[in-house]
Structure 1
Amino acid sequence: MWFRNARVFRFTKPFDITAEALEEKLQSDVFKPCGPQETTRQGWIPPLGKHSDMLVHSTNGYHLIALRKEEKILPGPVVKELVEERAEAIEIEQGRKVRRKEKDEIKEQVMLEMLPQAFSKNRRCFAYLAPKDGVLVVDAGSSKQAEDLASFLRKSLGSLPVRPPAVEQAPAFTFTGWLNETVDLPATVTLGSECELKDPSEDGGVVRCKGLDLQADEIRNHLDTGMQVTKLAVTWDDSLSFVLDEELGIRRLKFGDTLQEKLDDVDADDAAARFDAAFALMTLELARLIPGLLEALGGEDRSAIVDEA
Structure 2
Amino acid sequence: MWFKHLHLYRLHENGAWSFDALQDALTAHAFAPVTAHQARTHGWTAPAGRHSEQLLHEVSGHRLLSLMRQERLLPPAVIRETLEERAAEQEAAQGYPPGRREKQVLKERIIEELLPQAFTRSNRTDLWWDTHRGLIGINASSSKRAEQALDALRQSLGSLQVTPLAVATPPGRTMTGWLSDPSARPEGLLLGDQIELRSRADDDGVLRARSIDPDGEEIRTALEVGRQVSRLSIALEGQLSLILQEDLALKSLRFDDALIDEASDSSDSDNPIMSMETEFVLMAQVLSNAVEQLTQWLGGEAEAIPATS
Provide TM-score, normalisation by structure 1. Answer: 0.94
- Which residue is equivalent to 2:205? 205
Q: Secondary structure at the match of 2:98?
A: coil
Return the letter of the residue paired with 2:279: A
- Which residue is equivalent to 1:31? 31
- Which residue is equivalent to 1:230? 230
Q: Distance in 2 between matches of 1:211 and 1:204?
A: 22
- Which residue is equivalent to 2:122? 122
Runs of 4+ in structure 1 displaced over 6 angstroms? none
State the number of aligned residues.
Answer: 306
Q: Distance in 2 between matches of 1:101 and 1:268?
A: 60
Q: Indicate yes or no: 2:15 matched with 1:12.
A: no
Q: Distance in 2 between matches of 1:296 and 1:142?
A: 24
- Which residue is equivalent to 1:21? 21
Bigger Cα displacement from structure 2, 297-306 vs 224-233? 297-306
Closer, same or farther: CA 230–22 of 1 in aligned 2, 3 Å = same
1:105 is displaced (CA, Å) by 2.6
Q: Indicate yes or no: 2:292 matched with 1:294.
A: no
Conservation of the 8 A alpha-carbon contact between 1:241 and 1:254: yes
- Counterparts of 1:277-292 in structure 2 under 5 Å? 277-292=278-293
Conservation of the 8 A alpha-carbon contact between 2:192 and 2:214: yes
Q: Distance in 2 between matches of 1:104 and 1:188?
A: 61
- Which residue is equivalent to 1:174? 174
Closer, same or farther: CA 112–278 of 1 in aligned 2, 3 Å = same
Q: Secondary structure at the match of 2:28?
A: helix
Q: Secondary structure at the match of 1:15?
A: helix
Conservation of the 8 A alpha-carbon contact between 2:242 and 2:250: yes
1:16 is displaced (CA, Å) by 4.2
- Which residue is equivalent to 1:252? 252
- Which residue is equivalent to 2:155? 155
- Which residue is equivalent to 1:270? 271
Conservation of the 8 A alpha-carbon contact between 1:243 and 1:253: yes
Return the letter of the residue paired with 1:211: S
Return the letter of the residue paired with 1:109: R
Q: Distance in 2 between matches of 1:92 and 1:197?
A: 59
Conservation of the 8 A alpha-carbon contact between 1:17 and 1:131: no
Conservation of the 8 A alpha-carbon contact between 1:244 and 1:251: yes
Identity %: 35
How far does the alpha carbon of each residue in 1:169-195 deviate from its partner, in whole angstroms, 9 at most, with x for none?
Answer: 211111111111187111121111101
1:101 is displaced (CA, Å) by 3.8
Q: Indicate yes or no: 2:195 matched with 1:195.
A: yes
Return the letter of the residue paired with 1:299: G
1:104 is displaced (CA, Å) by 2.9
How far does the alpha carbon of each residue in 1:241-273 deviate from its partner, in whole angstroms, 9 at most, with x for none?
Answer: 111111111111111111112112223343222
How far does the alpha carbon of each residue in 1:195-223 deviate from its partner, in whole angstroms, 9 at most, with x for none?
Answer: 11112325441111111112211112222
Closer, same or farther: CA 183–298 of 1 in aligned 2, 3 Å = farther
- Which residue is equivalent to 1:48? 48
Conservation of the 8 A alpha-carbon contact between 1:64 and 1:128: yes
Closer, same or farther: CA 255–202 of 1 in aligned 2, 3 Å = closer
Bigger Cα displacement from structure 2, 112-121 vs 173-182? 173-182
Closer, same or farther: CA 78–282 of 1 in aligned 2, 3 Å = same
